[in-house]
Amino acid sequence: MTTSPGLDPALAVRTPLRLLPDPRRVITKLFIPGEERPEHDSRSAVVIRRVLAMDEQTVTETLLRTTRLFAGRHPRLAETFAEHFDIVSHRLDKRLDVSAQRRQLIGAYFTHEYAVEAAALCNPSMVAHPDQSGLADGELRFVLSVRGIGEGHLSSIGFRTGVIGADGQPRIDPPRRFLTVGRSRPPAYERALFDGKLLDFGHDDEIRVVLRRRLPERFTTAELDDVLDELHPRLVSRPSAYRTIEQIRWIAANNYVTEFPDDRSLSERVLWPTGPAECQGMEDARFTRFVHDDGTAAYYATYTAFDGDEVTPQLLHTKDFRTFNVSQMTGTAARNKGMALFPRRVGGRFVALSRGDAESTSIVTSQNIQTWQDPHTLQAPARDWELVQVGNCGSPIETEHGWLVLTHGVGPMRVYSIGAMLLDLDNPERVLAALPEPLLSADATERDGYVPNVVYSCGGLLHRDTVVIPYGASDATIAVATVALPELLDRMRRA
């Protein structure tokens, strides 16, 4: 293992576990011929005309062949074909009587497979599973979120499950065969979020005031449409109003709910980019099991939304990993990559780590989990192995000694290493101690991959006295290391 002088290599112990990218894990996606690249024109009309010109025997044979080839890879293929036909059916003359078979075949021509992790598998995050039944004494079931990267560097969020044994050793369940992206729908929107996002964009005009006055605190898509439709024509005619209304529609599209069928296991669920802010990927989800003041628990995750030009932190919320609420965040600290939520309130406020300046670790608090202002710097690049930038490797882990934060640092040749620091439980703005050297760096077997020389985690888990750290190794594989908490704390130097 590559370490700096003075660090005992045995402090972090690699387990035999390895998750490799599997190109057989595929989803179905809508395919519009000609629009594989945004600057190209759709060829959907001509493709539909060609299918309509087929004789019935050719339609039957082509559909049968296609179904036989792909039915074993997707559980609801006929439903997918029907849905995709409906999406492009505006291209057909409404007077045409199109048979069910031909509709299915048109749907097939507008469908393709996408291998969600064919290029890379990385950036794992580990939390306790909501179902802890059926385990032996001392065992803990976990959920492992993973970032899959496929064609075009498009990222999505997938899941695995497993168990940490009483001895602290993890094992991962074999994933199920099929994948599904679930179904998305609009949520109940929050007026405060729209108000905050418009302020972030610099829009403080009459349209924003109308929304604030005429919309309730929580509202539906229909209520939003009604208010926008009723705007006075002379307000709407101003150039700035067009920009504001466009931003309002954009905000609405980026907040949604995704639900998965009950009969699909967690390892079959994929959170797929849905909103325009994440159209080029959902990256680096940092999950935490959040315990509210009344003792109830839920799961939150911050992740990076990427639209091809800009990155934005967004928020996931779920209680059961079946229904996910996706929402945006506002404020000066809700920018750039690397936000990570604390697993409970501290001093009555939500707390998060952030990296708004792109190179330092900051801490920030919020009353409502969506608005994050005025970050305070905790850690700046200082040591040789982190001079380029520092950041967190997931949500802080609560211990009786303080908040344990797994960190990352970037050094010469863009080598990423994992470190650690300890924050005060009651005042997490106070750094108590930190590892002077990396806890984990890529060894000779981990240096080569999609992104070389990188070890990176989006969240570990404490089980008894063992810190379990899943990490991506050069984006070529996901590995797991364990660290004895007492030894880790003993190696830290007081701040």
pLDDT at 10 over 80: no
H/E element, 325: strand 323-328
Nearest to 370 by CA among 128, 124, 189: 189
3 state SS of 149: strand
Give the pLDDT confidence score for residue 1 in this predicted structure. 31
pLDDT at 189 over 50: yes
What is the CB-side half-sphere exposure of residue 224 using CA atoms within 13 A?
Answer: 21
Residue 204's pLDDT band (boundaries 50, 70, 90)? low
Give the pLDDT confidence score for residue 94 in this predicted structure. 86
Tell me how far CA of residue 175 lies from CA of 130, 143, 165, 402, 456, in angstroms.
18, 12, 19, 35, 22
As a whole number, mean pLDDT of residues 224-244 equals 89
Between 100-109 and 44-52, two packed helices, what is the crossing angle to 10 degrees? 150
Fold of 9-23+280-494: Tachylectin-2; Chain A (2.115.10)
Interatomic CA distance for residues 96 and 100, integer angstroms: 12
Query: Which tokens belong to 303?
Result: 């992740």
pLDDT per residue as tens digits for the range 261-302:
999 999 999 999 999 999 999 999 999 999 999 999 999 999
Interatomic CA distance for residues 281 and 263, integer angstroms: 26
pLDDT at 5 over 60: no
Let me know: does 81 contact 111? Beta carbons within 8 Å. Answer: yes
Handedness of CA 372, 377, 379, 383 (dihedral sign): positive
Interatomic CA distance for residues 127 and 19, integer angstroms: 17
Share of the chain above pLDDT 70, in %: 97
Give the pLDDT confidence score for residue 98 in this predicted structure. 94
The residues, ordered by sequence, that sit 6+ positions from 484 with a Cβ below 8 Å of its Cβ are 465, 466, 467
Give the pLDDT confidence score for residue 89 in this predicted structure. 95
Find the angle CA(219)-CA(222)-CA(226) to the nearest 5 degrees: 100
pLDDT at 167 over 50: yes
Question: Which one-letter amino acid corresponds to residue 92?
Answer: L
pLDDT at 319 over 50: yes
As a whole number, mean pLDDT of residues 350-360 equals 92
Model confidence, pTM: 0.94
Nearest to 156 by CA among 145, 167, 141: 145
Give the pLDDT confidence score for residue 468 in this predicted structure. 98
Nearest to 184 by CA among 113, 255, 127: 255
pLDDT at 131 over 80: yes
DSSP string, 246-275: HHHHHHHHT-EEEE--TTS-GGGB-B---S
Tell me how far CA of residue 158 lies from CA of 80, 135, 161, 297, 322, in angstroms.
20, 24, 11, 21, 12
pLDDT at 59 over 50: yes
Interatomic CA distance for residues 217 and 280, integer angstroms: 31
Tell me how far CA of residue 304 lies from CA of 90, 310, 314, in angstroms.
34, 10, 6
Give the pLDDT confidence score for residue 162 in this predicted structure. 98
**Alpha helices (H) along 5-117:** 44-52, 56-70, 77-88, 100-109
pLDDT at 316 over 70: yes
Interatomic CA distance for residues 381 and 36, integer angstroms: 41
Give the pLDDT confidence score for residue 138 in this predicted structure. 96
3 state SS of 188: coil
pLDDT at 85 over 80: yes
Give the pLDDT confidence score for residue 177 in this predicted structure. 84
What's the start-to-end Cα distance of the chain, in Å?
A: 27
H/E element, 488: helix 485-491
As a whole number, mean pLDDT of residues 214-219 equals 96
Give the pLDDT confidence score for residue 2 in this predicted structure. 35
pLDDT at 163 over 80: yes
Phi, psi of 55 (to 5 degrees): -75, 165
As a whole number, mean pLDDT of residues 26-32 equals 95
pLDDT at 251 over 50: yes
pLDDT per residue as tens digits for the range 34-47:
877 655 678 899 99
Centre a 10 Å sphere on the Cβ of residue 342 and count the other Cβ atoms it contains. 24
pLDDT per residue as tens digits for the range 385-433:
999 999 999 999 999 999 999 999 999 999 999 999 999 999 999 999 9
pLDDT at 359 over 80: yes
Give the pLDDT confidence score for residue 495 in this predicted structure. 82
33: left (phi over 0), alpha (psi -120 to 50) or beta: beta
pLDDT at 450 over 90: yes
| Rg of the chain over all Cα atoms, to the nearest angstrom | 25
Nearest to 421 by CA among 442, 445, 438, 441: 438
Query: Which tokens belong to 344?
Result: 């409970």
User: What ranges do the domains of the chain cover?
Assistant: 9-23+280-494, 26-115, 188-253
pLDDT at 6 over 80: no
Q: For the CA atoms of 449, 450, 456, 459, what is the dihedral angle to 10 degrees?
A: -120
pLDDT at 7 over 50: no
DSSP state of 190: E
Give the pLDDT confidence score for residue 63 in this predicted structure. 98
Interatomic CA distance for residues 279 and 273, integer angstroms: 6
The residues, ordered by sequence, that sit 6+ positions from 384 with a Cβ below 8 Å of its Cβ are 4, 411, 412
Nearest to 438 by CA among 490, 487, 386: 386
Give the pLDDT confidence score for residue 122 in this predicted structure. 97
Interatomic CA distance for residues 426 and 210, integer angstroms: 42
